[in-house]
Amino acid sequence: MFIIVGSGAGGATIAKELACVGKEVLIIERGSEIPTINASKSYNIVRSGIEIWHNICLGGTTLVSLGNAVRANIDELNDFYLEAERELNVKNVPYHHMGNATKMLLEVSSDWKVMPKHIDFSKCKSCGKCPFGCPCNAKWDSTHFIREALMRGAKLMLNSPVEKVIIRNNKAIGVKLLNGKEIFGDTIILSAGSIETPRILIRSGIDYVGDNLFVDAFITIGGIIKDKKPGLNKELNMAIFIKREDYLISPHYSTFLLQNLLSRGIKANPDDIIGLMVKIADEPIGIVSEDKVLKNLTKRDLEKLEKGKKEAEELLLRVGVDYDSIVSTHIRGAHPGGTCSKITNGYEPILESLYLSDASTIKGPFGLPPILTIISKAKKLSSILTSRA
């Protein structure tokens, strides 16, 4: 039996792939199943040097993704990327799905590119609620793969946090849950995400993991355009982007912009705000330990953010934002990865019968939406495991 720990992008994919070729699969998930529209309640915010956002629930962090689906430049994954794009129905955002604010921004620069997304645009209402959980069932999230795996006979345990891997004679033979229960299997695949997978390994006595953490750090800067009511808060975010060597810029509404405006004494209505995310591929220098996460930006990272912020500010001014109203959010990261990349690329076992399938195996710096890569890597791992099995 394959035991898979976690049901996010990496865990759900490997579970689905293995179940579809007739393997016995047990998925063990720490969180519970929640209605998609309540996804924001499952946010788990890690307060390190900068805030790191991820989710604990069935489907993991995929439930709150913005649907951005971009390949990394990894040749060996080309066939798996193709397969993943087909299954997730990846399409560029159609022009008629772009909202008012996005169209205003399109007019002030010719450098914008259209974002590919794993969203079914025949169902999407462009409501801007992706990061809270899609209310239209239009966005792919990994519960789609979990359902497929269950239909193919996989079993699922919810509310079952895994404490550690049971190891005998340098071979993984099962997992121990936090409640003390032990479950045995032939192959163990940890997919608890880049913060929790290294912690499970550390608690299992494999303590040389947890460093090389990157998070794709970002800020959102924005301000007010009173007369035009951009309404970015109620439209599909990140429908377009500008990619520079040092940073990416994309339309993004954050409730922190409103809070920051109000705290500066500027009266604001969410409909009046237009914002831009500035995201960088930060240097992978963070550390996850059993009870702490340390992640700060380097001088070079801060310079890249500052450079991106300047260009974003110019775009906001060109679109008519009142200069005195421009505010920025604090620095956050929503793509934690890399924390086990030193010991595996995701295809080789860490020790006999113990594999990883999640963002922890991606080598940083990264700087791209990781879901498509995590899925493609999981598909490749599955093909390796099934041809060996």
Q: Which residues contribute to the site for ligand FAD (CB under 6 A)?
A: 5-11, 28-31, 53-57, 60-62, 64-68, 131, 161-162, 191-194, 196, 200, 334-335, 358-359, 369-371, 374
Is residue 44 within 8 Å of residue 55, measured between CB atoms? yes
Of residues 149 and 192, the one with the C-beta less far from ligand FAD: 192
Closest approach, Cβ 2 to ligand FAD, in A, equals: 15
DSSP characters for 97-158?
A: G--HHHHHHHTT-S--EEPEESB-TTT----S-GGG--TTS-B--THHHHHHHHHTT-EEE-
As given in the structure block, the two tokens for residue 328 are 């920025």
Of residues 179 and 387, the one with the C-beta less far from ligand FAD: 179
Of residues 114 and 317, the one with the C-beta less far from ligand FAD: 114
Q: How far apart are the C-alpha atoms of 375 and 145, rounded to whole Å? A: 11
Of residues 10 and 251, the one with the C-beta less far from ligand FAD: 10
Closest approach, Cβ 378 to ligand FAD, in A, equals: 8
Closest approach, Cβ 140 to ligand FAD, in A, equals: 10
Q: Tokens 């608890």 belong to which residue?
A: 192
Closest approach, Cβ 177 to ligand FAD, in A, equals: 8
Closest approach, Cβ 349 to ligand FAD, in A, equals: 18
3-state secondary structure of 31: coil
E strand map for 158-207: 162-168, 171-177, 182-184, 187-190
Other CB atoms within 10 Å distance of the CB of residue 221:
25
Q: Are strands 51-55 and 43-47 parallel, antiparallel or unpaired?
A: antiparallel
Closest approach, Cβ 320 to ligand FAD, in A, equals: 28
Q: How far apart are the C-alpha atoms of 332 and 30, rounded to whole Å? A: 24
Of residues 55 and 187, the one with the C-beta less far from ligand FAD: 55
Closest approach, Cβ 231 to ligand FAD, in A, equals: 20
The residue among 321, 362, 309 whose CA lies nearest residue 340 is 362
Of residues 6 and 231, the one with the C-beta less far from ligand FAD: 6
Q: Which residue is nearest to ligand FAD (CB)?
A: 8
Closest approach, Cβ 270 to ligand FAD, in A, equals: 18
Of residues 8 and 230, the one with the C-beta less far from ligand FAD: 8
Of residues 190 and 321, the one with the C-beta less far from ligand FAD: 190
Q: How far apart are the C-alpha atoms of 14 and 30, rounded to whole Å? A: 17
Which stretches within the chain are classed as H helix? 9-20, 78-87, 100-106, 143-151, 193-203, 255-263, 299-318, 371-388
Q: How far apart are the C-alpha atoms of 324 and 302, rounded to whole Å? A: 23
Q: How far apart are the C-alpha atoms of 32 and 6, rounded to whole Å? A: 11
Dihedral over alpha carbons 66, 69, 74, 80 (to 10 degrees) = 120
Is residue 331 within 8 Å of residue 52, measured between CB atoms? no
The residue among 374, 339, 355 whose CA lies nearest residue 52 is 339
Closest approach, Cβ 335 to ligand FAD, in A, equals: 5
Closest approach, Cβ 68 to ligand FAD, in A, equals: 3
Of residues 82 and 269, the one with the C-beta less far from ligand FAD: 82
Of residues 103 and 176, the one with the C-beta less far from ligand FAD: 176
